Structure 1
Amino acid sequence: MSVFAALFTSSQAMQTQSHVLTRISDNVANMNTTGYKTFDAHLRESVNHITPRGTYVGVNSVDVRHADAQGIIQSTGRPLDVAINGDGYFVTNPAFDGSGTQHFTRDGATQTALGPDGNAYLVNSSGQFYQGWEAAPDGTVDTTGPLVPVQVEAAGGLAGEPTTEVTFSANINADATKSHTFQTAVWSPPDATGANDSYALLMTWTPGDPGSNAWSVSYTVRAPDGSDTLLDTTTEVTFDGGGQYVGPADPTVVTVPFADGSSSAVTVDLSETTQFGASGFQENYQETNGFPAGRVSQVAFDNFGRLQAQYSNGQSRVLYQLAVADFPAPQNLEDAGHTMFTYREEAGAPDIYGVDTLSTRTAMVAGSVEGSTVDLTREFSNMITTQKAYSTSATVYRTSDEMVRTATALKQ
């Protein structure tokens, strides 16, 4: 190799090692960056130049982003943070209407920002909107529909619902000779202001003839002001000799009147009651539907990437489902910076889906984020090796330069 070829080769080597050091420093600087994927610079030989005396080989670098590597899941305790454990990426879009270029990221450290409509939406650190599907009022999600931004405050409150079903379980004292009254709550339909009131449905059990194992249940409605209304409906309940419920086979439907003149048909199921003498009258449980109006008390993700609202009335509703995108070759995604990637054909056709109970390749971890994949020990080891290689290349360059200067001086 000529002296000038040595100059070119060593210069190229120093540039390459300098680039490798840049990648190492980037990795170290992002060791605590959520969802960051290690960026490596691998060396490869390249042809420097060709002369009649031979071919001279140099070196350059090839950047490799480990986009498909799994980072450690770290708990944050923040209800709107979510991590992906397994395959897939969150889908984000810089445009609120979805007209921008889709980006893909493993960074689940969410933030909130106002959208053009004045509502709060989930965004990442770059201000891009997380994408997903809005749930129907019953909580079901159609993951075949178009992606939309995930709105955090999708429900300012939850309207109350009237009670239509009551399941009551208790033990009825087989030795009783007097009536006994149980009570359950009944919610009225919402009024014009959206409020609904709590009424009480009183069930009075009156024993039949001794030894008949028969009871007559009458119903009374107690209004919020304390006034009582006796209903015309009664239920004739019978038990067998072992204290087990016999009939009636079908639940009783009672019409509950309300103060505003409206009424609701309430189905009362007493089939879970028993008749034993030793236990006396004892309520086991009661289940009723219906609830009062409530306000949002908390919004958080569950372990399926579903955004759920908890309400002050004890109810909960699914608002949105986060979308996850997976690729046959995710390492071929285009690096877009800030822990994000964009699509390239080499990555394969994306599969966009929502995580559910049947999914085995992807799991969501609520209240957590995925940490960086940077291995600090490995990076410092690579840095020492690279610095040594840079120093060696610099020595070759310096020696070659001195040889050129000496030859120039001899010629003079």
Structure 2
Amino acid sequence: MKKLFLILITASLSLVVTANDSTKVSANNQVVADADNAGLNLPSGFGALIAADNLGRARHIVATKQGGIYVKLERLVGGKGIVYLTDANKDGKMEIETSFANFIGTGIAIKDNYLYASSNEDVFRYQLDENGKVINPDSPQRIVKGLWDKRQHASKSLALDNAGNIYVNIGAPSNSCQEVDRTKGSKGMYPCPILDSAGGIWQFKVDQTDQGYHNGVRYATGLRNVVGLDWNDQQNKLYVTMHGRDMLYNLYPEMFDTTVSAELPSETMYAINKGDDAGWPYVYYDHFQKKKVLSPEYGGDGKKAGGEKAIDPIVAFPGHMAPNALLFYTGNQFPAKYKNGAFIAFHGSWNRSPLPQEGYYVVFVPFENGKPSGQWEVFANGFSGTEVVKNPRDAKHRPCGLTQGPDGSLYVSDDVKGTIYRIMYNSK
């Protein structure tokens, strides 16, 4: 009996080794989910764990081919704005290997052994070694400088193509280009002077230093603020998600009631070609009427169509949910329906009262041939830690960044407590 007992104990230890109270590593070093899936609600077959925590205001994130993760911080922690995480013992829990960069910001990306990161004014480039670690953390190349930073919509999100170009969002420091911003009775400026330097996507070269507006190309315009953007390699095209305008009821109560203002305008996703105009500030998209509507600052009444030359969104979501990251999934870990589809991290609303605030989750949009092939669905929920969010301060976590690990796991960052979630699929 003693011999049999020892055999059973040995067999059990060989199958599962406990890494901490909730995360386990199997004998073949496959990380399994936390017992409570890190507090998330996920589709059947998926699990999640907390890969890192308490990092600071973690904005966008990017994974290396070797499995490390770079995290861009909105506020400096210990004087540093980028954190590099690794998982040395492969238990699923990542530790800070190093931190560097003396600037805050949102954008971060990797392409061809270079790490790109943005402040609210500049874009920097760091070379990576064969292990995916930055070689020159204290002396990056500054490839873009002097972009508008007027505090409102100041973050500079990034995407890179396969032809040596980098795409930078320059958000409009305005709600709807009024003469006096967010003021009842103030008219919209026409033409909107902001569009010369903001409210769009600018294209720069990755291998030139200290480029400014005069070196770049205004690739697309009429985009109020694009925090989520990704280059789709399958389509060789840029896709973006835009934050819509605010305050329809506050500024025009004679045209919009509080419920309409809570739901509109739509948050929108676009497929972008060079030279495109999405119509801000002159029009907004209404997903109920399924059309572009003339903005009230420019003579609209909530029904008049406008923007005949402006492009239409390919997906429209309810208003004010704040799409903060866009990622096309190219991995093989998830079921086939997710291949080449889009994940979007919604940061959550602040201005949907009297309705509950909405967002605070990650959604999935199925794609085929570069176009949505079905309805969007909530993929990961529960970040907020409460069923009903009445005020953004109620939310314990707010999704912000997305990246795909080399094994096909999906990582999600939170900029309230600096939590990094890892979502995995296990068909068993």
TM range (shorter): under 0.3
Compute the TM-score of the two structures, normalised by the length of structure 2. Answer: 0.20
Larger RCO, structures 1/2 (Cα 8 Å, 6+ apart): 1
- Higher percent of residues as strand: 1
Larger radius of gyration: 1
Higher percent of residues as helix: 1
Structure 1 length as normaliser, TM-score? 0.21
